[in-house]
Structure 1
Amino acid sequence: MSLLYKFWSAAAIALSVAVPFLPSSVSAQSDRKVQVENVVLVHGAWVDGSSWSRVIPLLESKGIRVTAVQLPLTSLADDVAATQRALALIDGPVILVGHSYGGVVITQAGVDPKVKGLVYISALAPDSGESALSLLKSSTVEPPAASQIVPDSVGFTKISRKGIDEDFAEELPSLERDILFATQGPTSAPNALAVPVTGAAWKNKPSWTLITTKDRVIPLELQKTMAQKIGSQVTTLPASHLALLAHPQDVASVIEQAVRGVDQSK
């Protein structure tokens, strides 16, 4: 038998032994849980993307790539579209995070296939056909902030200085409350807050919720009811509505839980 024949025979045997193991090896790799590396942050009403300024560096220090959406707050459709544009520019799976009214936005925009999990930070989590206002009106408790929301002649709303100081950002220093009052983004009540979502991403995707027990914007019992309805993993924090500025480490920790806990292969 020639040396060439022996070589090819040995190669054929080796290949026949190795090939059956290839599919299972590939399958094992495809089933492996991989950490999501992208987070998109969606702010709430009356603020802008800078409300995440203390959370962003904490996430980025963990190697997480962060994008903060700037919502126009002119309508729910516009706000969802702004979030969708941010998602379109990201390569790879995403954890989508919403604060307050931003929870309404991520509930609708989160149907994007890139989104692998949702995080609600002191946020509203509507079902299909529900809006921010309908959820708040469903509560048996009227939050103190409700009386401090002031509309203009076309329905764009702001929070009064008293509302900022006592109900919205009461844990923050006076200078920071000054800035929030001066820079707050007018938010359309009829076109944003009163418009129902047409889809609810949490029905098909895992979610995490941070409940703020001293919240004077979204009643505690409503936060609990929503978290239970959507099947969230819940963290409770004795904090006010703007926990993302007053307690950034706690907020970042919940987002990190989602980043670590979601299965990217799904």
Structure 2
Amino acid sequence: MVTRERIPYGPHRDQWGELFLPAGAGPSAPARTVVVIHGGYWRDKWTAELGLPVALDLAERGYAVWNLEYRRAGSTVGWRGQSDRSAGGWPATFRDVAMGVDHLANLGSRGVDRERVAALGHSAGGHLAVWAAGRAAQAARTGGEKPAVPLVGVVSQAGVLDLSAAHRLKLSDDAAANLMGGPESELAEEYALADPMRRLPTGVPVLAVHSRDDEAVPFELSEAYVSAAQAAGDPAELHETSGDHFALITPGTEAYETCRALLGRLLP
């Protein structure tokens, strides 16, 4: 029987995760662990509820799953005068994802295998998952603090992996500017820190799954990231699938089954 437990990783109301554990998982039998990071173009309209079907499916198949919530940017179209209801955006959203992943270091007694942790991120969650995967390499380059829980790999599900392109294309009413608090022309340094394309190489496998039929996030964003990552020497792969944007997080679809199979490669 799968168990579920909501656990805070910080004091803010959105700093929590829901831990799903498969039958038999425990301190003496830790389960390989997947961090599920939901999408929604970083806006507070969308919550970790998007990750529930995936979390339940993976837990039933033997994974420990950490369905992560985080502070999102306000839902106002554009960034000027946006709502501050959730207090998210740059850099709070990124700090939350880092804190949330690292909180797994405290959950070994519940049955989490802290040495075998991969991320599964959809849409904006794919962006955040790949960003999080680059933390160890970024710390090594800058002398910053190493992550307490490094990721062994990421399956990106139609991830927004090129933040500058998302801003240039004004995807979802310029959600990138809404996340960052302004245009790249005014926040060049911040965009460079937030964009997975600018944090290569990471040394971490990124397996990008995307469909050309996706109308929410262009296929070309995954294509561009994987090309750049491979050129930088990273073990990145692009897996073209079928279906719309949400097929990737719908158990039973071809797109989702591809993602689950790739997770099995990262966490054998």
**Normalising by structure 2, what TM-score?**
0.57
Aligned to 1:191: 181
The structure 1 residue matched to 2:120, chosen from 77, 92, 97, is 97
Residue identity opposite 2:124 in structure 1: Y
Q: RMSD of aligned C-alpha atoms? A: 3.3
Give secondary structure in 1 for the equivalent of 2:181: helix
The structure 1 residue matched to 2:38, chosen from 43, 64, 69, is 43
Shift of 1:71: 2.1
State whether residues 119 and 208 of structure 1, in contact with CA within 8 Å, keep that contact through their aligned partners in structure 2: yes
**Normalising by structure 1, what TM-score?**
0.58
| 1:194-233 equivalence runs, <5 A | 195-198=190-193, 200=199, 203-231=202-230, 232-233=236-237
- In structure 1, C-alpha distance between the alignment counterparts of 2:96 and 2:245, rounded to whole Å: 23
Change (3 A) 1:200 1:253: farther
Say which structure is richer in helix.
1
State whether residues 36 and 259 of structure 1, in contact with CA within 8 Å, keep that contact through their aligned partners in structure 2: no
Unaligned runs of 5+ in 2: 1-29, 73-87, 109-113, 136-146, 185-189, 231-235
Change (3 A) 1:247 1:122: farther
Change (3 A) 1:193 1:79: farther
Aligned to 1:59: 58
- In structure 2, C-alpha distance between the alignment counterparts of 1:259 and 1:244, rounded to whole Å: 13
The structure 2 residue matched to 1:234, chosen from 234, 238, 243, is 238
Change (3 A) 1:114 1:222: closer
Shift of 1:225: 2.2
Give secondary structure in 2 for the equivalent of 1:204: coil
> Highest relative contact order (Cα 8 Å, sep 6+), 1 or 2?
1
Aligned to 2:12: none
| 1:12-91 equivalence runs, <5 A | 37-44=32-39, 45=41, 46=43, 47-73=46-72, 74-90=88-104, 91=108
Give secondary structure in 2 for the equivalent of 1:203: coil
Unaligned runs of 5+ in 1: 1-34, 127-131, 151-156, 158-186
State whether residues 117 and 258 of structure 1, in contact with CA within 8 Å, keep that contact through their aligned partners in structure 2: no
- How many residue pairs were aligned? 184
Aligned to 2:153: 117
State whether residues 54 and 244 of structure 1, in contact with CA within 8 Å, keep that contact through their aligned partners in structure 2: no
Q: Percent identity among equivalent residues?
A: 14
- In structure 1, C-alpha distance between the alignment counterparts of 2:98 and 2:167, rounded to whole Å: 28
State whether residues 43 and 102 of structure 1, in contact with CA within 8 Å, keep that contact through their aligned partners in structure 2: yes
- In structure 2, C-alpha distance between the alignment counterparts of 1:251 and 1:50, rounded to whole Å: 20
Greater mean deviation of Cα atoms: 115-124 or 47-56: 47-56
Query: Deviations for 1:196-236, whole angstroms, at most 9, x for unmatched residues?
Result: 25273763101111112211122223332223322433322
- In structure 2, C-alpha distance between the alignment counterparts of 1:36 and 1:249, rounded to whole Å: 25
1:136 aligns with 2:166: yes
